[in-house]
Amino acid sequence: MARIGAPCRNLELKAKDRDPARSLEVCEALGAEDRGALVQKDTYFETARGRLKLREEAGANAHLIAYERPDLPGHKESQYRIIRVDDPTGLREALSAVLGISVVVSKTRRLFVLASTRIHLDRVDGLGHFIEFEGVVSGDGDPGRFAPLLADLRRSFAISEGDLVGGSYSDLLRAAAEV
């Protein structure tokens, strides 16, 4: 059914993307490696702590992702586990039956990689465009080592304080539904 993944950590930053065409140009100008577009559907389940989502991606394996991170604007450390799932439909039905579904996030993600940092240019259904940076740590590495690079990327993409996003897309979609 699933293979258990080792715990991982990253340093990440998420922001509104006010000019997606310019962001694409910045990625290219920085020499970031274009890994193409990913179509993803994340089903978030109700949890007492952290977040739990089933990620289904066109043409790829599904994964269950459990993660915790502070909901603060700016860069923050995230701790997570990723588990490959061979039967996403069965798992979604089982988790939905016992936990309930919180929200479903559908997005198209353009993935770039620069200096072991992932740059996501996201178009999220119902929310708009966002940019996300993730510096992934291997083993016992220090996520703080990515802070200078994330700060440089933030300047390169002209991300202002007002553009920073503290929570996840799931939080933003739930908040939009309450309005």
Per-residue model confidence as pLDDT tens digits over 53-73: 999 998 999 999 999 998 888
* Residue 156: closest CA among 32, 45, 40: 32
Q: What pLDDT, on a 0 to 100 scale, did the predictor assign at position 62?
A: 97
Question: Would the pTM count as exceeding 0.75?
Answer: yes
Rounded CA-CA distance 12/33 in Å is: 18
2, pLDDT greater than 50: no
CA atoms 77, 79, 84, 87: torsion sign: negative
pLDDT digits (tens, 9 = 90+) for 7-46: 788 899 999 999 999 999 999 999 999 999 999 999 999 9
pLDDT digits (tens, 9 = 90+) for 103-142: 999 999 999 999 889 999 999 999 999 999 999 887 777 8
**Residues 160, 26: contact at Cβ < 8 Å?**
no
Q: Which domains does the chain have, with CATH numbers?
A: 2-178 (2.40.320.10)
